Amino acid sequence: MTGSRRSVRREAWRRFLRHRQAVLGLLLTVLLALTALMAPLVAPHDPDEQTDIVATRYQPPSVEHPMGTDRFGRDVFSRVVYGARISLMIGFLAVAIAISIGTAVGAIAGFLGGWLDTTLMRGVDLLLSFPRLVLLITLVALFEPSIALVTLVLGLTGWMGTSRIVRGQVLTVREMEYVTAARVLGFGQARILVRHILPNVLTPVIIAATLGIGNTILAEAALSFLGLGVQPPTASWGNMVASGRDTMLDAWWITTFPGLAIVLTVMSFNLVGDGLRDALDPRHVA
């Protein structure tokens, strides 16, 4: 890469901004994050508030309840807003865990090579041969479902892709001149790895992480839908969709709106991820 670091970054940022869709995705993502952070301010009602259940339940969307009320009379819109908090939090944390594990494994395998590399990558292949949801369900079923457990197992089942990416990058960068120079200068293995190689392998990892948040949110929603994720009464989009299933024909709003929230959220993360990929990877064909 020629040119100073600043101009490369600015060029990439300009390329990103040129894609209207990517910018839209970024705006949506920021909007979602703000909504989640400021949930108490955004939500018109308390998500757990139940007054006279018989009088307030199953109300269709109205001005007072923009997304209607559920079977206990709780405002669906407020629950969706608070659900954003849960989903985004789980998404970010789980991806953080997955990226950490994946980067560590991939870097060690790529840098040290040999039998360690082969063993680690065989392990990765083994884990990848299970459908992620099957692994998730099996793991959660063995213990009691909770937000912490869900986040942990999502992280534990999502690191494999990152490890492959990092390993590939490390293998490429390892042979480059500045690494050889560092070695000649007598820097220790660990120092070379952390300070010279890792900063240069981060780009695909960032892209994978962004797209990974979308997938993680989908996985958490599926788990919660099946009753193995976030437990009621805590509002998660997945378990909200499940709660509306019995009365779907009469009270369609309970199932529809949380699902729409999921779609919009995942879409915005995918848009940002695509935009990042177009901006940062010059070889990508649009």
Partner 1 sequence: MPILVGIVTLIFLLLHLAPGDAATAYFNPNVSPEIIDRMRENLGLDRPIHEQYFRWLRAFFTGDFGYSFGQHRPVSAVLADALPNTLVLSGVSLVLIFVVGCAVGAVQAVRQYSKLDNVLTFTSLFVYSMPGFWLGLMLILAFSSPALPDALRLPISGVTSVGYEFMGPLGKLLDRARHLVLPSIALGIASAAGVARYMRGSMLEVIGQDYIRTARAKGLPERRVILKHALRNALVPIVSLLGLYLPLLFGGSVVIEVVFSWPGMGRALYNAILGRDYPVVMAASFFFGVLVLAANLVADMLYAAVDPRIRRA
CA dist 210 and 214 (Å) reads 7
Residue carrying the six token digits 């599926």: 222
Say whether residue 255 binds partner 1 (CB under 8 A): yes
| Residue closest to 222 by CA, chosen among 259, 264, 251, 248 | 259
Considering only residues 210 through 239, tell me which ones interact with partner 1, judged by CB under 8 A: 214, 218, 221-222, 225-228, 238
User: Residue 112 CB, nearest distance to partner 1 (Å)?
Assistant: 22
User: Residue 141 CB, nearest distance to partner 1 (Å)?
Assistant: 4
CA dist 256 and 261 (Å) reads 9
First to last CA, the chain: 22
Of 96 and 137, nearer to partner 1 (C-beta) is 137
Stretch that binds partner 1, among 39-47, 67-75, 129-137, 196-204 (CB under 8 A): 129-137
User: Residue 128 CB, nearest distance to partner 1 (Å)?
Assistant: 7
Type of residue found at 190: A
Of 133 and 182, nearer to partner 1 (C-beta) is 133
Q: Tell me the Ramachandran region of residue 3: left when phi exceeds 0, alpha when psi lies from -120 to 50, beta otherwise.
A: left
Say whether residue 171 binds partner 1 (CB under 8 A): no
| Residue closest to 283 by CA, chosen among 229, 207, 189, 174 | 207
Give residues in contact with partner 1 (CB under 8 A): 122, 125-135, 137-139, 141-143, 214, 218, 221-222, 225-228, 238, 241, 245, 248-249, 252, 255-256, 259, 262-264, 266-267, 270-271, 285-286
